Chains A and B, each alone.
Chain A
């Protein structure tokens, strides 16, 4: 009797455990799916942001900018048509042209700030060369391989954004005189590695990662999150007084690309 009851209990317990295991497995699958979806969503958000930047940058540069150019051309025509004696009128048109020129320059900078067109027009290599040159007060050397492997637009954008942030940090925080940016492929062209290395004052890494404005998606924290989304690796190295080094690796053929 007791034996029978016990074995019934054991059977019941076994069923319960099986149930729990099944529930656990289902929850785990659910969690993995949710995680997958969240990552997918985060990538979409990033993609949409870059796309919006690209479109506004282009509209500013090619739309507003070119209207300003046409306006300048028209001022030139009016000026050329004025009688020789109309010096005051010509003078006024010149002032107007200068103002248009200033507005055009501002429009250009604003557009570049959002997203430099060179990245879409000429590709990552040209964009990096341009970026390296445009950082003031820093001698940036670029080391690029003879031949870059094929890099998707998304990964190109990511590499460009990381370089941009790293160089901006180097110029604002490091006091460095020299920065090196090196890009190379390895593992049969399956991975790309980017290293940015300055000779500045460096910092405590624990401080660096907590100092960024958390949740702004910018800075080193944002960099880490974004690289994570593309299954990449981020490695920071620094010792106070001994420079700062960012090294990232990204898979060129991300599993993510096959997402729905």
Chain B
């Protein structure tokens, strides 16, 4: 039988969970903890197969608990069972060493599935957690640099006037500056955006949604 420890500071949640796990006949709850420090102590003492751990707990939060337990009990599997569904929590817990992540409102059937998976040395992540990990992988591409940001307010004005099809002379007139100055702005904008001519600049603007 899989030996489980449940760590959760919310008494009703913990007790209903323990009752449901015991009633399932698939595992045995060997210990309970109502805060993070207690969770670590109990795990070290009882060495369960699985620790089911909440994130928001007094004294020591779940992230810290998982970190410590991973170091001290590498063979024990940790299932995070939490109210939090945001990507960042999933990734934090994953990095800390959790083998599973479920939301507290997960159906009992899924919870038992997770217990079986982790009991057999595997992993189990709920739909939200899986999605979070997928998003992370897809977003891991390095952020493209945006030279538009580096344009000064004046250069931006010039940028948009070029996009609108104005010539250097027209730009000079419009902004009430000398043609020389206008041409300088124009060259600097081209250089900063790494484009060679107005057509390339317009393409750049379109690609970056800079055209109304």
Chain A positions within 8 Å of B, measured between CB atoms, are: 58, 61-62, 65-67, 69-70, 72-74, 76-77, 80, 101, 104, 108, 117-118, 121-122, 126, 129-130, 133, 141, 143, 177-178, 180, 182, 197, 199, 201, 237, 239, 241-243
Contacts and interface: CB of A to CB of B under 8 A. Distances in A.
Given A180-B149, A241-B212, A66 B13 contact: yes
Contacts of A74: 16
Contacts of B17: 73
Interface of B: 10, 12-13, 16-17, 19-20, 23, 55-56, 61, 63, 83-84, 86-89, 92, 104-105, 107-108, 143, 146, 149, 153, 156-157, 160, 208-210, 212
A19 B101 CA distance: 75
B210 A66 contact: no
12 contacts: A69-B104, A69-B105, A117-B56, A121-B55, A121-B61, A122-B88, A122-B89, A122-B92, A133-B87, A199-B209, A237-B153, A239-B157
B12 A66 contact: yes
A201 B212 contact: yes
A117 B105 contact: no
Given A121-B56, A241-B160, A242-B156, A130 B86 contact: yes
A66 B10 CA distance: 7
Nearest to B11: A70
- The dominant DSSP class at the A interface is helix
B143 A66 contact: no
Query: Which of A76, A108, A121 neighbours the largest number of chain B CB atoms within 10 Å of its CB?
Result: A121
A237 B149 CA distance: 13
A62 B108 contact: no
A130 B89 CA distance: 10
Contacts of B105: 69, 72, 101, 104
Nearest to A122: B88
Contacts of A133: 87
Nearest to B10: A66
Contacts of A130: 86-88
Contacts of B107: 76
A188 to B, nearest CB: 23
A69 B88 contact: no
A70 B56 contact: no
A39 to B, nearest CB: 32
